[in-house]
Amino acid sequence: MTSRYVAEMKTINRTIDVKYLRTFSQVAKHKSFTAAAESLFMTQPAVSQHIKKIESVIGASIFDRKDGFGLTKHGKVLLEYADQTMSMYEKLFEDLERVDIKEQVNIAIADSFSQALVERVISEFRLLNNTDLSISGFSSDAPPNLQDYDLIFSFSRLSDENGKSYQLNTANYVVAHNSCIDPRECYPERIVYCHTLNKTFVQEMLTQQGIDLCRVKSWMTTSSSRLMKSELNTLGTVVICPRWSIHGANCRTITLRQQANMYVWCNDEIVLELDQHALRRKICMALSNES
């Protein structure tokens, strides 16, 4: 019989039951067989028997009999691994219980983003197993409470409190108009612009594009993608917004050099899950294709 075979046989036979490790951990913690027995709802003789079985398996004492309940060198090594084992054991059952429990991910999306983009984001989250989605929209006038959501898609970078913001995408602003009319060849009467811009800046951009504003009767600012698309159906109306706000609309556009950023804020708990499924990268790619 080779020495390697003997060593392998010893390794196979030297296993310690988890319940013995739990008992040892409690004795080391309370420094008392009686207190450990009470904490484990066991008898003191049963606790003593568990300790003897451990010492029999490892072939060494784990408590220094001369020092009461002081640990020997073997005991100190064993305690370190016992604590790790108990921690992993508890996590195992937590994860097993979590398998059958559906988690809800609460997502808030700025209403400046078109429905097409919202649907693209939602489709990526379907990759998460045992997960229900709750989707809410919000306007710039009523920003969402960070504590109520797991992810928030917005135009601006939100606070890193209890989470972190990431830039997802960048899109150019566009001058959008009815497909039948070029605003540079007529006189628009109504200007609708995204809430991220101010009126003076919009006037300058339109003038630079050769659009005459002398007959403009009304100006309106909004954060609603749905409203921007609706206004495009009105003759004489020009809409200035990021390209993704009117994605899918039947209109003509003039691309501006000014850009808007899209951010996502994630709470601390969901960041790891997103990275495990590479969802942040996939969402970035999806939005790049859509914007």
pLDDT recorded at residue 122: 77
Q: What is the pLDDT of residues 49-70, one digit of tens each?
A: 999 999 999 999 999 877 778 8
* β pairing state of 131-138 and 218-222: unpaired
Contact, 184 vs 209, CB < 8 A? yes
Give the torsion sign (CA, 70, 76, 80, 82): negative
pLDDT recorded at residue 127: 65
Give the integer Cα–Cα distance in Å for 103 and 188: 50
Give the torsion sign (CA, 38, 40, 45, 47): negative
| Residue type (1 letter), 115 | Q
pLDDT recorded at residue 259: 92
Give the integer Cα–Cα distance in Å for 41 and 25: 14
Give the integer Cα–Cα distance in Å for 242 and 231: 15
Supply the Cα-derived Rg of the chain in whole angstroms. Answer: 32
pLDDT recorded at residue 8: 46
pTM score, two decimals?
Answer: 0.58
Residue ranges and CATH numbers for the domains of the chain are: 3-99 (1.10.10.10), 105-170+262-290 (3.40.190.10), 171-259 (3.40.190.10)
Cβ contacts of 61 within 8 Å, gap of 6 or more: 55, 72, 74, 75
Give the integer Cα–Cα distance in Å for 146 and 125: 19
pLDDT recorded at residue 102: 59
pLDDT recorded at residue 287: 61
Contact, 261 vs 279, CB < 8 A? no
* β pairing state of 103-110 and 131-138: parallel
pLDDT recorded at residue 5: 40
Positions of the chain with pLDDT under 70: 1-13, 97-102, 127-130, 179, 181, 273, 275-280, 282-291
